[in-house]
Each structure stands twice: as C-alpha cells, then as structure tokens.
Amino acid sequence: MYFWKEVFLLIFKTNFSRLNFYSVLPVVIYAGAGYFDQIGEPNGWKLVVIRILIAGTALLSYVGITWVRKNEPKEEDEKELVI
C-alpha cells in the first residue's frame, strides 16, 4: 500500500499529463492482450475478451488524442494536488 501511495505522489508532483497517460496505456494493454492472443492458448470466451480488449485499445487511443487534448488544462490553470 505504501508503495502505491509513493507512486501516485510521484506522478502528481511531476507535470502529469492525461494525454501522455492515454497514449501509453493503450500500448501496454495492447501488448498484454496481444501476447495472449499470439500464444494461441486461450479459446472460447477468453479469446473473445482478449479481442475486445485489443479493439478497446483503439478506442482508448482515439479518446486520448481527441477528447483529452481539448480538455487538457492550460499551464496557468493547473493547480497543485493535495492529498
């Protein structure tokens, strides 16, 4: 628990950008789901879930590029996060 608290504090102390987060997260999900899709072991409903995850990463990338960029706060609007 202490480790994750330190990770979140480190993220929020730096200039955390949701645009960067939504750019990296789909790559990580795609790599994990793509690995299990390529080994060919899962079948049935597990394969369907993996393929849905792979398709969902495309949607998450789209959100990261379009929606977040429009709603990204300007430099002067950023406020410090207090936990």
Average pLDDT over residues 14-26: 72
Q: How far apart are CA 25 and CA 60, in angstroms?
A: 8
48 falls within a domain: yes
| Residue 16 scores a pLDDT above 80 | no
Domain count, the chain: 1
Instruction: Output the pLDDT for position 44.
Output: 87
Domain hosting 59: range is: 17-69
34 falls within a domain: yes
35 falls within a domain: yes
Mean pLDDT of the chain: 76
56 falls within a domain: yes
pTM: 0.56
Better-predicted residue by pLDDT, 2 or 83? 2
Percentage of the chain lying above the pLDDT 90 cut: 1
Read off the pLDDT band of 17 (50, 70, 90).
low
Please, what is the Cα angle at 64 between 60 and 70, to 5 degrees? 140
82 falls within a domain: no
4 falls within a domain: no
